[in-house]
Structure 1
Amino acid sequence: MKADIALETLKFIAHGVHPFSRQKMRKDHFFNEPEVLEAVNICINLVAQNLSKKTYLTQQDKMLINIVNGKARNHGFPWSNVDTKKLISEYIAGRAASTLSRELGRSRGAIVSHLELKGVTIR
């Protein structure tokens, strides 16, 4: 697992959201135990502190900063041709914008905007 996906998973858990289904977790779920939430938040803060000490940020570092700041991991990055083709073909095939946003590390708004920019009719 890449660090950006791992950190994104921790952020969802810290907010009481299942990292895969994106559904709110039950109050009695073990991830909502205070000790677990504290451990998750400590890990997130350690990553943030480590990144703040760097003088040169790699693309991976920038993705981690996006996640720490509550943004989609690819926020601010240009769209690759591969991601654009995948987005268009899978959206036309019926996949939901919200599903594609998770897979491509973009906000739902970025997905819709990019589709519109490329001339795809939004359903």
Structure 2
Amino acid sequence: MKEHIPGEIIRKQMAIVDEQTEERLDQLLQSFLKDFKERNLQENGWPKNLSAYTASKVAVSTYTRILAEKYPTSCINCVRPGFAKTDINFNTGIVSVEEGAKGPVMLALLPGGIPTGLFYEQTNPSTFE
């Protein structure tokens, strides 16, 4: 997460799931929106480039862990499929659609619904940081 969110305070707020709630995450995203509108992103620790995209992806990772804690009998994970060649990016991606689909399909077919609360880079478990 360090390479995506420069502000240490924001990174800590998103990283500590034990203290994180949906309400706190919402408040954090509301502060992002305020800083975005006021053009204070960099000064307040938010990413400067692709800020909305980056903040939303980090928020999804945080929310994944919140939901996994809240619903321990469900299998809740998130995956970054890679920059796939699709129409939405005018086929400028670096992996094929088939390669990008491997992670989401693998997670959908996990036997017994475990593990949960993890972040995957394609088909490999990764860290949230």
TM-score (norm 1): 0.28
Instruction: Kindly indicate which of the two structures has a greater share of residues assigned to helix.
Output: 1
Instruction: Kindly indicate which of the two structures has a greater share of residues assigned to strand.
Output: 2
